[in-house]
Structure 1
Amino acid sequence: MGSTRRLASLAVAGIFLVTAAAACGGSGATSPKATGAATVGPAAFTPGPDTGWSNSGITVDPAKLGCPNPTGPQSRGVTDTEIKVGGLITQTSSSGPVNTGMDVGAKIRFERANAEGGVNGRTITYVGTRDDGSDPTRLITQAESLANDGVFAAVPAVARAGNFSDVFCKTDTPFFGWGVSADYCGTALGFGITGCLVSGPGGSTIPSAWGMAARAILGGDGSGRSAAVVGVDLDSAVNGVKLSAKAIKASGIAVPYVENPVPASGLNDPTAIVNALMHANHGAPPDLVVTIVDFSPAIKIIDALRAAGYQGKILTPLGYDPRLAGFKDLDGTYTLLQWAPAESGSAADDQMRADFAKYAPSEPIGLTAMAGYWSADMFLDAVRKTGRDLTVASLLKTLNGGGYSYNVAGAVAQTQWPVNHTASAPCAAVVQLSGGKYLPTVKLSCTPLVANQ
């Protein structure tokens, strides 16, 4: 019974996570097209260092972003001894919990910061988390409530649907989080730990991480190999699947199948989809199947592929979670992560694991909990680099002045600002679940930005 409940919870969380995965391809907000961007070839998709990646000539003028000049209260929530912050997170839905542990992850990081004396002489006061309940209308009222509580910043701010950035623009409230909504794209106030993930079909870049992952899984330079990309029948997912497939193709791999056949309401019978996949590559199955779908449909497709005799590789954005390590249906599959897995062995991930063990020992270190933790860490980094004279304007000057980047060696790949207001970080890690353990296939790595041309 306990295992069933855990998987049900993960299935609900998967709905949000696959939105993030599709968002890696972009949907929603429109970002400027690249001008003068360098053209890259398949070799650019070779894994590189997790910092120092090239912007390929793609630049962003922060003055042309939304909300570039805050005019409201500059030090709201800041005193000589504290900084007041709060979270705005989609935590519940009609189907169950969402973003499980994201607020806990943030509070853990803030607790360690406070135990170490705070940042620039100020401790962090976390006023709590507003839950929008997956309701766009409630999202607005909850964002207004958080701003009215006098927070200096919203950390984390991660919502599943709707728009909260307009509220924070009117109230001059910076926000930090996992950039899985259009709120993080094209605004000077929003800072995603992996950049802007939903830049729209006219966005400046394509999600190169998918191409990097596919090449690494298939080995070699990709020539003579093929991949199929399967998505959900939603407008945002359609665009995300197309751009993800575009990145895989640009990496040198043929992509004969790019479809969104999975109904948004759920998948009852995967037979037709699997039959199409098994003949997608000139009558034969592709070497790699990429499932950018919700948890339950993904499992149905994976099980049906194996029952049909599929011998190729399977890549999903949903397979990494300590609660899934023993789930045999996912054994052998690969998962793309936007930051390093907790088991990476880096000093930063070891510290994170120690923090969870100390401050919330019962909280699983899954993707959403990690997203909250690293969102808080980015905020702390920006505040520290801003210095003692902390206002909204001074914080934005630090972040958008052209010299700020955020990364945690071996744990969170570099974002560069302001370019990541309109592009996702071109970085990822890949793990394979094997025998109840997550084995690294690609350590946290980056490519250059790849223009959407």
Structure 2
Amino acid sequence: MISRSHSRGRRLVTLGAIAASAALVLTGCSGGLAGGDSGGSSDGPIKLGMLAPFSGSEAAFGDYMKYGAQLAIDEINADGGVDGRELELVTEDDGCDATAAVAAANKLVSAGVEGSVGGYCSGATLPTLPVFKEAGISMVIPAANSTKLVGQGAFLINGTGTQQGKAAVAYAEKLGAKSVVLIDDNTDYSVDLANAFEEQAGSLNIVKRESVNPDEKDFGANTNSVIGANPDFIYWTGYYQAGGLLIDQLRAAGYDGTILVGDGSVDAQLAAIAGPAIENVFGTFTRTPDMLEGGDAWVAAYTELAKADPGPYSMQTYEAVKAIAQAMDDAGSTDAEAVDKALLGLKAFPLLSGDLTFAEDGSREGGGFVIVSPTGEKGAFVLSDDLS
């Protein structure tokens, strides 16, 4: 149970209270939000911009993130908003494409957003950093977690690639892996995560690194290369579309050992694509509501709003909104410099996923990665090992 008091009128947030009602009573925002030179207009809603993939191969995550953000906004507005000003969500499609993301970021700037709570694909999020920085807009990123994002002025709700790689190494060591193969899909996120594993591998024997073209359907050359290395542990760091096909083809080629996937593949669609080959597959991921005491109430509230179940990064985007709203309240401003300072001042800020504290470089202290497996309903990932 979380029960911790905070200044500026923050309400106590407990998982027990969450379980008592599907409409969560979350952190209220009070105090004065200054306009003019202190940042932002004192009239009208505070617009929060969100870049996410609403088209392309990762399109499912766009709605997961949108409804997570909207749920947080609805709760904050129902509780009085931020000093009487409502929050408003403005979304743009980045398609997980760097060029499209820059254009979409500029649209959000033109729309007058005063904070950014988006970012799924690291490769698409990275080039938007200077766009928002130049416009004086604070960024709280819910999903993208490449180490290249760290120290760039943004704040990450998700654990970093370094933290995730450390959890993957710990799991491989726990299983007694003797020979490890790392496979990426040539994206910034995927390569970064594979690098993080390799850099922290210690005594683990990495016998091969392999890269695939995610636009292909036949990974025969890759699977033959991997099988030839005779691994007993494979870490796939790419996204689920190619991941599901790769897992199926690895099994067909004779590999029956453990396959661990990164958080970009932690989605029920992985099992749908891989079929029976999904057995003995696990993932590195941060905790989801179904893994938390009282999280069922949050799921019920989300489902009522979205008319669909939450998916990966629904909760993280919800928490990104909560964090930036509280920081704006604490700062008494939407000015980026003031809000960023207030974000750094959030110490053990209570959220569903656990108390939030940002390190000086904008990363989330602790990371919070666990091991999950696609053994839930319709291939949903559920907690398998908390690495304690």
- Normalising by the smaller structure, the TM-score range is 0.7 to 0.9
Query: SS of 1:147's equivalent?
Result: helix
Q: How does 1:33-48 map to 2 (within 5 A)?
A: none
User: Is 1:343 paired with 2:298?
Assistant: no
Q: 2:386 aligns with which of 431, 434, 443?
A: 443
- The unaligned stretches of length 5 or more in structure 1 are 1-71, 198-206, 446-453
1:254 equivalent in structure 2: 205
1:84 equivalent in structure 2: 47
1:169 equivalent in structure 2: 133
Counting matched residue pairs gives 344
- Give the drift of 1:115: 2.0
Q: What is the identity percentage for the equivalent residue pairs of Structure 1 and Structure 2? A: 22
- Give the drift of 1:125: 2.5
- Give the drift of 1:289: 0.9
1:266 equivalent in structure 2: 216
Query: SS of 1:430's equivalent?
Result: strand
Post-superposition CA distance 1:313-343 (Å, at most 9, x none): 1111255335566654424310111x20231
User: Is 1:399 paired with 2:343?
Assistant: yes
Q: 1:242 aligns with which of 195, 199, 204?
A: 195
Distance of 2:280 and 2:248 partners within structure 1: 12
Cα gap change, 1:364 to 1:439, in 2 (>3 Å): closer
- Give the drift of 1:212: 2.6
Q: 1:225 aligns with which of 161, 178, 197?
A: 178
2:152 equivalent in structure 1: 187
4+ long deviations beyond 6 Å:
none
- Give the drift of 1:106: 0.5
Distance of 2:205 and 2:97 partners within structure 1: 40
2:106 equivalent in structure 1: 144
Query: SS of 1:256's equivalent?
Result: strand
- Give the drift of 1:227: 1.9
Cα gap change, 1:230 to 1:217, in 2 (>3 Å): same
Distance of 1:304 and 1:274 partners within structure 2: 7
1:204 equivalent in structure 2: none
Post-superposition CA distance 1:264-303 (Å, at most 9, x none): 4324142x333333342xxxx3221111234343223322
- Tell me which protein shows more helix as a share of its residues: 2
2:5 equivalent in structure 1: none
Distance of 1:73 and 1:174 partners within structure 2: 16
2:358 equivalent in structure 1: 416
Cα gap change, 1:323 to 1:123, in 2 (>3 Å): farther
TM-score by length of 2: 0.74
Distance of 2:95 and 2:373 partners within structure 1: 33
The residue type equivalent to 1:145 in the other structure is K
1:334 equivalent in structure 2: 282
Post-superposition CA distance 1:223-278 (Å, at most 9, x none): x633211112457644542332222x22x422222222x124324142x3333333
User: Is 1:303 paired with 2:251?
Assistant: no
Q: How does 1:11-22 map to 2 (within 5 A)?
A: none
- Give the drift of 1:373: 1.9
| Alignment check: 8 A CA contact 1:383 1:390 kept | yes
- The unaligned stretches of length 5 or more in structure 2 are 1-35
Post-superposition CA distance 1:101-143 (Å, at most 9, x none): 1122111111122223334x33432142122455545533432
Higher relative contact order (CA 8 A, sep 6+): 1
2:323 equivalent in structure 1: 378
Superposition CA RMSD, Å:
3.4
Distance of 1:335 and 1:413 partners within structure 2: 23
